[in-house]
Structure formats: structure tokens, C-alpha cells
Structure 1
Amino acid sequence: MTFPEIDPEYLKAQLAALLAIPSPTGYTDNVVRHVTEELARIGMGHQVTRRGAILACYKGKQTEGARAIVAHLDTLGATVKRIKETGRLELVPIGTWAARAAEYCRCTIYTDDGSLRGTILPLKASGHTFNDEVDTQPAGWPHVEVRVDAESFNQAEAAALGLRIGDFVAIDTGTEFLDNGFIVSRQLDDKAGCAAMMAAMKAMQDAGVETPVDIHFIFTIAEEVGSGASSVLLDDVAAMVSIDNGTTAEGQNSSEFGVTICMADQVGPFDYHLTRKLIRLCEEGGIRHQRDVFRYYRSDSASALEGGADVRTALITFGVDASHGYERIHLHALTSIAELTVRYAMSAVEIGRDAAELADMHGFTSQPSDPAPMADAVPQGD
């Protein structure tokens, strides 16, 4: 079987475009418009839900038993909780991330009528005033505030600027693409996964590859707050692979190179057979890969299962250093993710009974055991 090549320049261009569009959860309309325009440009049919999740369907030989490949467009951010007497803004986070990571970030505040620029600062930001207290003050969201770059020195002036409780605050990404393949930016989670998925889609579309079943490429818009893929899977989908960030840190086995396949996260283990199929596809394709387990992590797969989807799930990741902070990844991981996505989309169906919601035991899977599994059992796949 011949597999199309991934275009790394296209992947980087899409990542740069996505990172340039602010999209904290709840403020995703503009990034959805960008993605749908790009899907139309490459000739990929798609539909959009009421709130903006995107489903692009690559037609396969049959509809039943379809596969979903999912990444999320929404990012971390913040919301204005209170306008202080000083005209500065108290925040609550959108998604789970540290206020320490937000300190000294440049940001945009989106009002009902426009936008204003600002900086997130600790309450004691001036060393000339507070001396060593700048290092000893507490860390946390109650201990940071937005300094608005306008005449906002009291509540009345803030109101005159259009600032209101509930305004969205988007964080500047500070993106750098280095010549050695490293990419440093905020919000690579999960715009890098979306870019890798788009590169896989374009490669498949350009080559006109055949797939055994429909492939649903889904962009979700609320993963960072937990609801992600809870209501976007169609009934025909039998298996779902999420693309998201892995964590390269002390005690983890993730890498910024190749594909990191998550075996389990805080919700529990991913599907035994689907996960091992992805590992096998990496081995057969010479794709560098490693396994990892994430303790404090959940993805679109968890939200799909909690939403009632009876599908096999797996998670493939690109290793991220300093996740949910000022993140760093490598292009090698993203191209590896895209290559595995194409190989998975084109791979043969191995558990035919999964096309039906309910079936008898014929063709049901088995896992290694003693005594050996029955001869007619299917050992792995989807």
C-alpha cells in the first residue's frame, strides 16, 4: 500500500494561521470560520454544528463502522470577573491553567463592541515599590489583574471603555518557529493537533486515497472546559482517535519527537485493541513512537464516552514541554502524528462486528490470557 507524504510546510502554515486567531473556549467563531474556509479550499466537504464544532467527512467504501479523528480548536484563556476600583480587571481562568503562567502575558480583552489591549500582572509588579515582596507574594488567580492599555483608572473610566464583567480575555501566543524544527508558543494545545490533522486531510485529499470506511475529521470547540466531543459523534462512528498534547516532564515517557501514544489518563485506560493497533501501525510504518500514561489529563475521548458514545477510543499525542504554559514542541512530532493519522484512516477494518451497535459473540475480541484465546477471536484492531 502506498501512503501519501505529509507536507511539513503546509502543516506549519496552518499552525501559524491558527495560532494567530484567538480562540479561548466560548470565543471560537473566528477560528471556526478560518478552518471551514480552508476545508472548502482543499475540497473537503464539511458541516458545522449550532455552536461551531466542525465535522469533515472523507468518504470511504462504507458508512457503517466509521472512524472519528478529533482535535480541538479552543484554547485556554480568561474571563473578567470584576472591574476593580482602580480600573483594573480581576480574572477567572477559562480551562485549567496556572495564574503563574499568566503573569506578565500580553492579552486582548474582547468587549461587546470591540477590543482593548492589556497585560496580566501580579498585584505587586514593581520591584522599585515592593522590593523582595515581588518574589514572596502568593501565586493564584486572585493575585493577578489586567492592566488595561487605556485610560482605565477607576470603574467609571473602565465602563466608558466598554469593559464589562464576562468579557473574554485572550492570551498572546508569542509564537516562534525555529530553523531546527522546534516551535515555541502558548496554545499549541491543541492548535498543533488541529494543524497536524489538517495536513493529514490535505495529503489524503490530494492523493485521492481509498479508505475502508468513512473518516470523520472533527474539530471540537469546548475541550478545555470538559465538554469537547460529548455531542458531536454520529451514530455510524465505531472508533475515535483524539489528537492532543502529551506531557514531557519528569516522570513521563513522552517525547517532543515522534508519536506519544497514551495508554491511560485520569479517566482510565484507552481501548486495548485500538491503542495496540495504532502502535502496530507505527511499527509497520517506521514511525518513531513511545507509550505514556497521564495522571492529570483528560481529552475529547473522555467527553465522548461521558456523553454516551459507545465507541472504542484512543489518544495520540505530540510531546509538549511546559504544557498549559509557554509550550514547546517539535515539527517531527507533528509530521509523525499526521503520518499515523493517514495510515490509520487507510488501514483495514479488523473488528467487523463493531459496525453494529449490538451483535452476538461472533468475531468478538480477546486479550492475552491463559489459556490461549479461542481460534475465531480477533486479537486486535478496530
Structure 2
Amino acid sequence: MNTYPNVTETKEVLKQLVSIPSPSGNTGKVIQFVEDHLANLGVETKRNRKGGLIATIPGENAQEHRMLTAHVDTLGAMVKEVKSNGRLRIDLIGGFKYNSIEGEYCEIQTSNGDVVTGTILMHQTSVHVYKDAGKAERNQQNMEVRIDAKVENAKDVRALGIEVGDFVSFDPRVKLTENGFIKSRHLDDKASVAILLQLIKRIKEEEITLPYTTHFLISNNEEIGYGGNSNITPETVEYLAVDMGAMGDGQSTDEYTVSICVKDASGPYHYELRKNLVNLAQKNDIGYQLDIYPYYGSDASAAIRAGNDIIHGLIGPGIDSSHAFERTHEKSLEQTEQLLYHYVQSELVSY
């Protein structure tokens, strides 16, 4: 049996995932997609009260459990104000900067379910009118949504059903290149969700009996800090978050290997679990990098903060330009899936 993942299929699942708008707080459609996907694999799931999804695969040992998580919620925005000029002021959902969404196409989902398209722009965009177009600060005061409808005032906007609190999602602009790159918004963390779905499929198709009962949590509030901090069974010993590896100056993470995080803003991850992950990578000829993410927190760190008595870890594919115009390569997806494949069949670390 081939132990390597079908990365072409993983990419197609990823393309479907990023094409479904799901800013934190409005993830119902993408959770339904994942739920249906797992149902087609014959995997039973349940939703928690926060709207996340949990799939459980029984293992030989039902007294000690594992949990793996990836989050399906993304960055986004909300309508902050319907402006008198017929445009919208927005409030950001998640940790990113206004400059990363300037010029982006977007969708406004009204509370009655209608979708209105638009573009996120500086108010002072036209260089023919505004002398400071290039120098004005990219902030909430200056950025606005230009709606694709004939609207001249706030009354016109509200006639479309748009109101304060409506969700705004960004066009992912997903593109799969012939040489293996995946360019898209929201690879954080839908790349990892696609990997987990493929991992579950392999476990089912290869009829693998896992050594421990293993839960897969698809969380839906990670970008705002509390996606994976609950619904962790008392039997859970190891909790592994699968989330993006952050790239940049001083970082080891790249787009072609799996990133194993040793520390982030929450502090060090469990040393013995990290060593086990490295050993599995070396033993199975899996490309990996060890790294520290200085301005980062995961579902695993949220679970620790919530008081769960668990061994926690974090791995994921390397993502360039995180929380902006993201990119990774199929090799990183492949290496991450390989490590997870071997990890879920390994023994728990000592504690």
C-alpha cells in the first residue's frame, strides 16, 4: 500500500474549502461542507455548541485518547458603519492589517442571506483627486467598501438589506500553479483542514486500526482565540494542533517541508512530543524544520490556557505571507500529511 498522500486530491479539497466564505463567527456553510465530506467517508461527526465539528475514530486503547485539530474559520470583517456616501466602514475579524486587504474584492452577507459584492479601497484612492493617496494611513477611518450597486447614501445601502454587523469575506483568489504552488487567501488554516480530511480518508481506506481513540476537531473560532479550547475528553493525553508554519526573516520554516513549532507567543510546546515528532520525521525520511513563531497562538495553546491537562504540540505546512497573500507548495502539504500519518499510528510519549 502506498503510504504517500494523493497530493493532487488534497489540493482539490483545499481549493473547495478556500472557496467557501467562512470568517470567524459565520462558519456554518464550511462546517456543513466538512460534515458532508466526512459523512461520505462513513465517518460520524457531532457539532459542539460553538459550531465546531468533531469526528472520532475508535482505537485499540479507549482509556487514552489523542486529539488533532485544524481550524476552518478565517480572517474577515464586519460592517461597522453604513456611511452617508453609500460606502461601508468595516471592523476587522482576526489579527491582520488593513494594508493586506486594500484593493481586494469582497462579499457582504446580509442577515437575510443575500450576498452583495464590493471592493475594499482607500477613501483617498484616486491620485487625480487626492494628493495624499499614497501617504494616507491604511486604517479604519480611511478604508471603506465600495458596493457593486447604485447607492448614493445610507438609505440606498440599507435598501439592499445591508446593516451593521453583516459579515464581510475576502475573495480568496485561489490558483494552483503547474509547478506545485498554491496561492490563495485563507491557507491559514484550510490547508491543514484539507490535510486532516485526507488523513481520515487514508485511515478509512487502508483500514488502519489506530492505537488510541483519536478525535479530529475542526474548530471555528481559532482566529479570535478560543476555537479549540473545549470539548476535549478527560481521556485525551496528546493534543496536536495542525496549523500554518509562519515564514519570514529569522524563520526556518519554508514552503516545502513540515514545520514543527517549538515555541510561540504562548511559550514552549511539550518537549517530549516535539522530540517524538522529529524522530518520526527522521525515521520516515520526512522533510521538516523546527521553528519559533514570535507572534502566534494556536488551538493547542488555547486548550492549555483553558486548563486542560494535556500534552500539546503544533505542526503544519509552511505558509508564506501569512494573514495576507498566502502561498505554499504541494511538497509542504505532502510532508505534513506524511508526518501526521505516522504520528497517529505511534505510541504516546511518556508523562
Shorter-chain TM band: over 0.9
Name the aligned partner's letter for residue 117 of structure 1: T
Q: Is the 8 A contact 2:273 2:349 kept in 1?
A: no
Q: What does residue 124 of structure 2 align with?
A: 124
- Secondary structure, aligned partner of 2:261: strand
Name the aligned partner's letter for residue 255 of structure 2: E
Q: For 1:220 and 1:263, how far apart are their aligned partners in 2?
A: 22
Q: What does residue 155 of structure 2 align with?
A: 156
Q: How does 1:211-250 map to 2 (within 5 A)?
A: 211-250=210-249
TM-score of the pair, normalised by structure 2: 0.97
Name the aligned partner's letter for residue 330 of structure 2: L
Q: What does residue 257 of structure 1 align with?
A: 256
Q: Is 1:56 aligned with 2:55? A: yes
Moved more, 5-14 or 188-197: 5-14
C-alpha deviation, 1:267, in angstroms:
0.5
Q: For 1:188 and 1:200, how far apart are their aligned partners in 2?
A: 17
TM-score of the pair, normalised by structure 1: 0.90
Q: What does residue 187 of structure 2 align with?
A: 188
C-alpha deviation, 1:5, in angstroms:
2.9
Q: How does 1:283-298 map to 2 (within 5 A)?
A: 283-298=282-297
Q: For 2:176 and 2:100, how far apart are their aligned partners in 1?
A: 21
CA RMSD of aligned residues (A): 1.2
- Secondary structure, aligned partner of 1:260: strand
Q: For 2:56 and 2:238, how far apart are their aligned partners in 1?
A: 14
Q: For 2:234 and 2:179, how far apart are their aligned partners in 1?
A: 43
Aligned length: 350
Q: Is the 8 A contact 1:91 1:142 kept in 2?
A: no
- Secondary structure, aligned partner of 1:85: coil
Name the aligned partner's letter for residue 115 of structure 2: S
- Secondary structure, aligned partner of 1:156: helix
Q: Is 1:308 aligned with 2:304? A: no
Q: Is the 8 A contact 1:68 1:216 kept in 2?
A: yes
Q: Is the 8 A contact 1:7 1:203 kept in 2?
A: no
Q: For 1:349 and 1:225, how far apart are their aligned partners in 2?
A: 30
- Secondary structure, aligned partner of 1:40: helix
| Structure of greater Rg | 1
Q: Is 1:31 aligned with 2:30? A: yes
- Secondary structure, aligned partner of 1:109: strand
Unaligned runs of 5+ in 2: none
C-alpha deviation, 1:350, in angstroms:
4.1
Distance 1:75 1:182, change over 3 A: same
Q: For 2:60 and 2:2, how far apart are their aligned partners in 1?
A: 17
Q: What does residue 343 of structure 1 align with?
A: 342
Q: For 2:159 and 2:140, how far apart are their aligned partners in 1?
A: 25
Q: How far does the alpha carbon of each residue in 1:334-382 deviate from its partner, in whole angstroms, 9 at most, with x for none?
A: 111111111010012343xxxxxxxxxxxxx5xxxxxxxxxxxxxxxxx
Unaligned runs of 5+ in 1: 352-364, 366-382
Q: Is the 8 A contact 1:4 1:207 kept in 2?
A: no
Q: Is the 8 A contact 1:4 1:204 kept in 2?
A: no
- Secondary structure, aligned partner of 1:238: strand
